[in-house]
């Protein structure tokens, strides 16, 4: 059984959680951005996590669906729910009726995502530490 598949799996988890933190930070930073690069209000971004097989996991017995799987962010989707419209005729981005569309970002949700991603990151890092200690103990058998 491969010793280091677990390390790569945890590595992929760390990477994915970091992406999640990046996106949540982006959403928070752009909570009031009414004009993005394409001229439209900012739409919040969501990562899509997908389980992927790790190379080297073939050594573990079991059917393909039961091997240890890593994670990757397969795509980043923009949330298409329309943002709230605020009547503000003097705003540079007001449309013909005087309404400004603000991004569909709810800061409370984003902070919750941030916390959850940071806990996930810590958990993966703990898994890596634990494996390192296990490996050290395994080597210590031979003094």
Partner 1 sequence: MKLFDTTLARLERSLDVRLARHNVLSANVANVDTPGYTAKDVDFKAAMAAASPGTGASAESMTLAGTEGDSIGAGAVGTTGHAADIPLMNAAGSSPSMDGNQVDLDRTMVSLAENGMQYGASARAAGKKLAILRYVSSDGNG
Partner 2 sequence: MRSELDMIVGGVRPLERPEAHTIEAPGKSGEGTFTGELTKALGEVDKLQVDADQQAKMVAEGGGNLHEMSLALEKADISMRLAMKVRNKLVDAYNEIMRMSV
The residue (of 107 and 138) whose beta carbon lies closer to partner 2 is 138
Q: Should residue 1 be labelled a site residue for partner 2 when binding is judged by CB under 8 A?
A: yes
- Per-residue binder mask for partner 1 (CB under 8 A), 91-130, x = binder: -------------------------------------x--
Contacts with partner 2 in 45-74 (CB under 8 A)? 59
Distance from C-alpha of 10 to C-alpha of 116, rounded to nearest angstrom: 16
Q: Can you say whether the dihedral through the CA atoms of 44, 36, 121, 4 is positive or negative?
A: positive
From partner 2, partner 1, none, interface partner of 54 (C-beta below 5 to 8 A by class): none
Strands (E), the chain: 45-53, 69-78, 85-87, 99-101
Q: Should residue 4 be labelled a site residue for partner 1 when binding is judged by CB under 8 A?
A: yes
> Segment near partner 1 (CB under 8 A), from 13-21, 24-32, 43-51, 85-93?
13-21
Q: Should residue 107 be labelled a site residue for partner 2 when binding is judged by CB under 8 A?
A: no
Question: CB neighbours of 1 closer than 8 A, spacing ≥ 6?
Answer: 59, 60
Determine the number of helices (DSSP H) and then strands (DSSP E) in the chain. Answer: 2, 4
Q: What burial class does residue 140 get, using C-beta atoms within 10 Å of its C-beta: 0-12 exposed, 13-18 middle, 19+ buried?
A: exposed
How many chain residues bind partner 1 (CB under 8 A)? 17
Of 86, 55, 85, 83, the C-alpha closest to 69 is 55
Whole-number minimum distance, CB 52 to partner 1, in Å? 12
Distance from C-alpha of 117 to C-alpha of 59, rounded to nearest angstrom: 30
Among 2, 46, 72, 79, indicate the residue that binds partner 2 (CB under 8 A). 2
Binding site for partner 1 (CB under 8 A): 4, 7-8, 10-12, 14-15, 18-19, 128, 132, 135-136, 139, 142-143
């Amino acid at each position: 059984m491969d010793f280091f598949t677990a390390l790569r799996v945890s590595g992929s988890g760390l990477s994915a959680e970091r992406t999640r933190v990046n996106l949540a930070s982006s959403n928070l930073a752009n909570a009031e951005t009414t004009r993005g690069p394409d001229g439209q209000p900012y739409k919040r971004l969501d990562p899509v996590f997908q389980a992927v097989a790790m190379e080297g996991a073939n050594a573990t017995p079991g059917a393909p669906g039961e091997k240890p799987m890593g994670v990757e962010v397969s795509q980043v989707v923009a949330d298409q729910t329309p943002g709230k419209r605020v009547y503000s005729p003097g705003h540079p981005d007001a449309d013909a009726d005087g309404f400004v569309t603000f991004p569909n970002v709810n800061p409370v949700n984003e902070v919750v995502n941030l916390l959850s991603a940071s806990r996930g990151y810590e958990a993966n890092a703990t898994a890596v530490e634990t494996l390192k200690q296990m490996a050290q103990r395994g080597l210590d058998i031979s003094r």
